[in-house]
Each structure stands twice: as C-alpha cells, then as structure tokens.
Amino acid sequence: MRVAINALFWNQPTTGSGQYVRRLVSQLAESAPDVQQLLIAPRGQSVYRPPAGVTVASGALSARGGVRKLLYEQWALGRTAGHLTADLVHVPYFAPPRWSRLPVVVTIHDVIPLLLRGYRGGPLVRAYSAWVAAAAHRAAAVLTDSHAAARDILQHLRLPAERVHVVHLAADAAYRPVEGEADQELRNISQRLGLPESYILYLGGFDRRKQVPELLQAFARSGLAKELPLVVAGRLPGHDSAFAPDPRPLASALGIARQVIFTGWVEEADKPALYRGARVLAFPSLYEGFGLPVLEALACGTPVVAALGSSLDEVAGPGGLLVDGTDTEALADALARVVQDEQLHATLRAEGLAHAAHFSWEATARQTAQVYREVLRG
C-alpha cells in the first residue's frame, strides 16, 4: 500500500499540523510496515530529517503565496502522487482536493472557522474555507481528533457518518513524570526562567477563545496569588487587539502583575519539565479540536482545570476538573481546590496518569493505517 502524504507543514514543528504529520509518519514507519509512505512537499521545500524508509518527493508547484498554495493542494499534490503510483492521498490538515483520481483521506482537526465568527477571516479566507468544506464531501474518509470534533464535522459539513473516523492524538513519550532530584530538566528551566518550586501554569495561545483574560480574573479572585504565582507561557501578542488581547495590562489593572510570570515562547524540549513543575494546568479554552496541552500535562502527572465543552471533557477525563470557562468564580474555586486540597490533587494526579496512558501514537498510527486499508477495500 503506497500512501502519498502532504508534507506542506513538515518543516513547521511548532504548529499543530506540523507536529501531527511528523509524529504520525514516524509512528506509521514503525507500526504499519505494510504502509509505504511517500512524503510530497511543494517544489523548493526540503523535508527535514524524514524517518528511515520514507520516500520524499517534490511536488509540481511551489506553495508560496495564496494562489500557489491552493494550486499545490488542489492539483500538484495529486498529480505528483499519481506519477509516483500511490494508492491513495492523505492530507493531514483541512485542505482536501476537490477533484482527485486517487482516493483521498483528510484529517480535519477542527472546524473553528465554521463555528466561531472571529476566526472566519476576510473574503479570501472565507472563500478558501467554503472551498475545502465542499471538497471534504469528495474525500473517501475523514479523520478527526475527538468525538466532539466529529460531532461538529457531522453537523456543519453534513458528511455521511460512516466516512468520519475518530482517531485520538497522543502526548509524545517525553511527557512523563520524573520524581524529585532526578528532574534535572526542571531545575534547569526553573533557573533559566526564574520559576519557584510550585506554580499554576497556562501554556498556549492568546486568541480570544483561549480565555486568558478570564484566567487572570479568576486567579485574582481566588486569593492564590498569596501562595504561588501564575506562569503564563507562550508567545505574547505582537500588539493588543480584540482578537488577541495582550494580557499584561489586565494583570496590572487587577493588581497581580508581580504574581504573574510571562515566560514568552517556550521551546518544545522545555515543555515537559514546565508541566512537571506546575501544581495545576489551567486551560479554560472555549473550543479545542483536541487540546493536546491538557493530555501532555496529565501524562506528566499534573492535574488540570479546564473549560467544559468541545473536546476537553474527553481529553481531560478523570484527571481534570471541568467548569464553565466563562464563569470566573467557578474557575477560581476549581483552581483553589486543586491547589489547596492535597487529597483531591493526589486523586487527580493518579487518575490523570492512568487516563493519559490510554492514548499513544502507536494506537493513532495503527488506527490511521486501518482507515487506509478500509478505503482501498472500497
């Protein structure tokens, strides 16, 4: 079975699509030996360090610029896959070709542009979203990361249910507990970033659905600032806007500026230790297709307080307290409970570790390969 995979995001490992395609391809190479992978990148784009045994090919077009990217996705990818005698094409993000001689599998991580008005963009972005939404109806199979995302896909794209397959993501093997003095990585990052022994952690983006202003308000309301700081990790907005508000002025206005540590961008290699040092991960996002930071925290032994709704219910499982993300009082109460109640903290930690162990990239790869086989069987 020869599977051509769109490698457009391969060299962007800090994006969700980049992480997904890298981890999936690497695990398929180990777990599905009957799948011969053909990574196809746009012309002029190299593929950095592909796994052994994976073929790399250059597409017929560059993807630089909006029109060229569209032509690469809609025409050049399939044309190259055909020349390489692939059996099917896998597009690992929401951009399936509308017409293809080969069967297409597409991974739709979420349908945020169709759900949330603020994410729809200008006329060109809306036209692109409409195009790929229509193209999804031509796909032989759709993979998605959670049952919540699957429900949204079925509702908003109106695809046949039998063509939509839930294949959960997983935390990388680096996300694991390391106890006490053995955690040299935690000591290193704590010294580098000036972190205390314990803190509440937020790690993610700053667009409006992430609810960072509400988290700051809840932290101020909880009274926890007297006990431990809030660490806010991630690249801060370049400028304050309604779509991505800068949280620093609000922290000052709430009188908690000295109790909030803004780390800025955090390298992937530093994230496991950052999770391990946290007393709790606060993740009040209103919508996620999966919510990988939640699972990564649980895999490190860190309990989670997250927002009800979307996929976070199933990803957090018994390792998290789920509250209305728009209710700052409920969010403040949940944070205080996890921080101050030792028995609750220990229970969430143990159950979260057990829950996280049910997710693995090996399972993701095996289930994905099974969908390939089902598609080729017709």
pLDDT tens by residue, 209-229:
999 999 999 999 999 999 999
Rounded to a whole number of angstroms, the CA Rg of the chain reads 21
Residues of the chain with pLDDT under 50: none
The sheet carrying 141-144 orders its strands as: 55-58, 36-41, 2-6, 88-91, 104-107, 141-144, 164-166
Q: Residue 72 contacts by C-beta under 8 Å, 6 or more apart in sequence?
A: 8, 42, 59, 61, 62, 63
**Calpha distance 315→266 (Å, rounded):** 23
The sheet carrying 260-264 orders its strands as: 260-264, 230-233, 200-203, 280-283, 304-307, 320-323
Which amino acid is located at 273 in the chain? Answer: A
**Calpha distance 165→148 (Å, rounded):** 12
Count other Cβ atoms within 10 Å, centred on residue 189: 22
Q: 282, 253, 266, 251: which is closest to 195 by C-alpha?
A: 266
User: What 3-state DSSP class applies to 84?
Assistant: coil
Sign of CA dihedral 79, 83, 89, 91: negative
Q: 267, 207, 196, 194: which is closest to 236 by C-alpha?
A: 207
- Per-residue model confidence as pLDDT tens digits over 301-332: 999 999 998 999 999 999 999 999 999 999 99
Q: 263, 39, 265, 292: which is closest to 174 by C-alpha?
A: 292
Tokens of 43: 């012309």
The length of the chain, given as a count of residues: 378
Domains, the chain: 2-170+360-376 (3.40.50.2000), 180-356 (3.40.50.2000)
Which amino acid is located at 156 in the chain? Answer: H
Q: 339, 354, 91: which is closest to 218 by C-alpha?
A: 339
**Calpha distance 169→143 (Å, rounded):** 11
Sign of CA dihedral 327, 309, 288, 359: positive
Answer for the pair 159, 252: CB distance below 8 angstroms, yes or no: no
**Calpha distance 320→342 (Å, rounded):** 15
Count other Cβ atoms within 10 Å, centred on residue 106: 24
In sequence order, the β-bridge partners of residue 144 are 166
**Calpha distance 8→87 (Å, rounded):** 20
